[in-house]
C-alpha cells in the first residue's frame, strides 16, 4: 500500500517578522508585539487571526501508515528552529512520497509551510513536482486542489464550498472519536508563552490521529475500505496508541467511544 501521512501544524505569531515589517524598536516585547499585531488584524477584518506568512511554526506532528505499521510523532526536538522542522517535513515527503491527509491543510497548514519554508530556504523538489521530473505527477500532484496526493478532508467533504466547512473536533466527536482534549488552536500562543511546548506537541499529535480516524471513516464510506479492513485499521491505531507512554494517549483512549465503529 502507498504510505499515508496525516499531518498538522501548530503556530504562534511571528513577532520578530512583525517587528521587521513595522520597524518596531527592539525594546518592545514579543507579547506586546503580538497584541499590536492582533489589534491591527482586528481593525482590518474583524478577526485577530494573522496573515498566514506571520504564523511561525512551532510544532509539526505526523501519523504515518506504512506497510504493516502505524506510528505517531512530532518532528524534531521541542526547541528545534522553525526552518529545520519544516525541512524535516519535506524531507519525509522526499523519502516516502506519501499520500498526504489533512483537515484544512490546503487552506492553512500547507500555505503556511510554503511561506515559512520560503523564508528559511527550505528545499522540497518532490513536493513541488507537477510533472517536470515524474510524469505521473502531472496528473496527480501535491499542489492541485482536486488531486488526491494531498487530500484535504475538510475541503473534499464540503465539496470545495467554504460555507459548508465543518470543524474537525465536531466531526471526530460525531463519529465517536475523541476529538480535541483540553486545547485548541486559540490557546497555543498562551501555552507557548508559558513554556508549554510539550503540551502543544501532544495536542498536535492527537489532532493528526483524529484526522486519520476521520480519513478511515471516509475510506469506508467511499468503498476504498471494506468493513473488515476498516475495523482492522481502527484496531491497529488503538493498539499502537496503547503501546505509547504519553499521558495524552491515555486521555485520548479514555475519550474514545466504545460504541464507535
Q: What is the mean pLDDT of each run of 10 residues along the chain (261 residues)?
A: 94 98 96 96 92 98 96 97 98 96 98 98 97 91 92 97 96 96 86 96 97 98 97 97 95 87 71
| pLDDT confidence of residue 100 | 98
Cα dihedral across residues 122, 135, 215, 239: positive or negative: negative
| pLDDT confidence of residue 257 | 79
- HSE of 245, CA atoms in CB hemisphere, 13 A: 0
User: Looking at residue 108, what DSSP letter applies?
Assistant: I
C-alpha cell at 200: 502543544
Q: Which residues pair with 9 in a beta bridge?
A: 60
| pLDDT confidence of residue 166 | 98
| pLDDT confidence of residue 199 | 95
- Taking domain 4-254, whether its CATH number is 3.30.420.10 is answered by yes
Amino acid at each position: 500500500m502507498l504510505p499515508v501521512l496525516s499531518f498538522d501544524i501548530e503556530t504562534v505569531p511571528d513577532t520578530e517578522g512583525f517587528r521587521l515589517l513595522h520597524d518596531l524598536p527592539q525594546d518592545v516585547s514579543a507579547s506586546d508585539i503580538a497584541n499590536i499585531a492582533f489589534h491591527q488584524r482586528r481593525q482590518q477584518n474583524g478577526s485577530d487571526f494573522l496573515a498566514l506568512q506571520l504564523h511561525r511554526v512551532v510544532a509539526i506532528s505526523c501519523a504515518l501508515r506504512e506497510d504493516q505499521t502505524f506510528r505517531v510523532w512530532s518532528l524534531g526536538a521541542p526547541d528545534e528552529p522553525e526552518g529545520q522542522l519544516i525541512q524535516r517535513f519535506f524531507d519525509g515527503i522526499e523519502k516516502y512520497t506519501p499520500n498526504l491527509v489533512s483537515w484544512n491543510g490546503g487552506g492553512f497548514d500547507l500555505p503556511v509551510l510554503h511561506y515559512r519554508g520560503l523564508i528559511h530556504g527550505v528545499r522540497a523538489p518532490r513536493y513541488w513536482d507537477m510533472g517536470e521530473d515524474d510524469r505521473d505527477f502531472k496528473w496527480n500532484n501535491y499542489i492541485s486542489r482536486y488531486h488526491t496526493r494531498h487530500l484535504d478532508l475538510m475541503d473534499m467533504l464540503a465539496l470545495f464550498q467554504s460555507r459548508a466547512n465543518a470543524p474537525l473536533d465536531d466531526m471526530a466527536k460525531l463519529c465517536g472519536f475523541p476529538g480535541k482534549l483540553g486545547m485548541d488552536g486559540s490557546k497555543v500562543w498562551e501555552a507557548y508563552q508559558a513554556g508549554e511546548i510539550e503540551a502543544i506537541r501532544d495536542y498536535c499529535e492527537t489532532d493528526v490521529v483524529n484526522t486519520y480516524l476521520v480519513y478511515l471513516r471516509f475510506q469506508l464510506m467511499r468503498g476504498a475500505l471494506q468493513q473488515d479492513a476498516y475495523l482492522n485499521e481502527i484496531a491497529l491505531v488503538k493498539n499502537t496508541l496503547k503501546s505509547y507512554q504519553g499521558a495524552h494517549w491515555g486521555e485520548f483512549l479514555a475519550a474514545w467511544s466504545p460504541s464507535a465503529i
